[in-house]
Amino acid sequence: TDTISGQRNQLYTIHPEDCIDCGVCAIYCPVDAIMDPDGNIVKRIKPRDIPKAKVDPDFCTGCDYCIEICPEDCISLVPREETDENSHMGQLVAVVNEKKCVSCKLCEMVCAKNAIWVDRDTPYIKRPIEMY
């Protein structure tokens, strides 16, 4: 993306105006060169070990806020399996394409119903990275 730029074998620059502070760059860095705010090097983990956003259809109202904010375009709305006409739930429910999800947690931050979240039990970056 345009968020990080530079040339191979030189220092790269993280552009704070484009950075969403998800920490994915630190997770994928092959040389462990990115530090958290405490100065600890953030260890690289395998992409399959990065937690993915989950949706609880019992709480999702189909409002689409998570879709609008997702930088990876990995959330969509699908018809709800069962809909009670008297329910506050909409006809649609959010689903996450786990192959595209980078665990940035923006969807979690905008969900007023706490229907979407990133699994906190999986070890991954928990604090924002330091920008130089």
Residue ranges with strand state E in 12-115: 13-14, 53-55, 75-79, 92-96
**How many domains, in total, are found in the chain?**
1
In a domain, 4, yes or no: no
Chunked mean pLDDT (size 10), the chain, 132 residues: 64 69 71 70 68 92 94 94 66 93 90 89 46 40
- On whether residue 58 sits in a domain, the answer given is yes
Give residue 44's pLDDT. Answer: 65
In a domain, 21, yes or no: no
Q: Give the per-residue pLDDT at 75.
A: 97
Q: What is the pTM of this model?
A: 0.64
- Asked if residue 10 belongs to a domain, the reply is no
Element (H, E) at 109: helix 106-110
| pLDDT at residue 126, as a whole number | 44
Please report whether residue 132 resides in a domain.
no
1-15: b (≥16 Cβ within 10 Å) or e: eebeeeeeeeeeebe
Q: Is residue 16 part of a domain?
A: no
Written as one letter, the residue type at 121 is D
